Amino acid sequence: MSDLEGQTANAAQIEYWNRTAGQTWVQHQDQLDRQIEPLGLKGIKVLNPSVGEQILDVGCGCGQTSLKLAECVGPTGAVTGVDISAPMLDVARARPVLEGAVHPTFLECDAQTVKLGESVYDAVFSRFGVMFFSDPVAAFKNMHRALKPHGRLTFVCWRPFQDNLWMRLPMEAARPFLPASTPSDPNAPGPFAFADADRVQSILTLAGFTRISIQPFDMAIGGSPLDQTVALTFKVGPLASILREQPDLKPVVQEAVRAAVSAYQTQQGVLMPAAVWIVSATKD
């Protein structure tokens, strides 16, 4: 029995990350790890974990960041990865641990509602795992409670969709072939829920955090061959969401998307601009 049974606060996200998104991320884990690893490493550098620390990794997914944090804290530290996706956690638990690193503990639970404990962790980290809460203030209050006095929080989240060409370009290429759609709520749980830095500042302040820093970070991500890159745009991201509902459109948009993405081929694979916030705060 997981700590998700009977949960209603984030029921839609729990279902989505166990049935649809979780299965997709498991299937494309190697490619997705390669694509977003540098962004997570930047966040970990800002967090600056030390040997012996106890760290909570929220939305740990397939475990890449938890394993890196485990290297940083060494055998005397502890890393706990939490996620709502059972398929992704299965991958995380099966991944090898580097010699000299502590073995992370992986828990299937909702960081908004589960009892994380009080004054347990030296730091909380997340790479793209905190934008999906139905009540983000409640979630961050829970994390705040779990931190020791003077504990640190660092997470990486996406800046606006328009700033992220790696997701925007495929949509723009496909748009002439897609039906009209109504704008979604920008604050609804989802990848871009924390795109507004003022909203992030407000959420963290209400949750009790201080010394809040929200810094932009830009870099080209990807690194896969053209065919793999195009295939991934049909599996992950906003265009993929549309094609899941209307799969007959895939052959219609494929050539246009491929032509647009091909402009970003390099000797290291397709590399396209990504834009994130590196957010850090402390518990006084």
Tens of pLDDT, residues 217-239: 999 999 999 999 999 999 999 99
Closest among 16, 152, 144 to 85, alpha carbons compared: 16
Q: Which residue type, as a one-letter code, is found at position 250?
A: K
How do beta strands 210-224 and 269-282 pair?
Answer: antiparallel
Confidence of residue 107 (pLDDT cuts 50, 70, 90): very high
Judge whether 4 and 109 are in contact, CB under 8 Å. yes
Judge whether 35 and 141 are in contact, CB under 8 Å. no
pLDDT at 27 exceeding the cut of 60: yes
What does pTM read for this prediction?
0.95
Q: Percent of the chain beyond pLDDT 90?
A: 93
Q: Which pLDDT score is estimated for 7?
A: 65
Confidence of residue 6 (pLDDT cuts 50, 70, 90): low
DSSP 183: P
The CATH classification number of 11-282 equals 3.40.50.150
Q: Give residue-wise pLDDT tens across range 120-138.
A: 999 999 999 999 999 999 9
Q: Where are the domains of the chain?
A: 11-282
171 CB-near residues (< 8 Å, 6+ apart): 237, 238, 239
What number is the average pLDDT over the span 189-216?
98
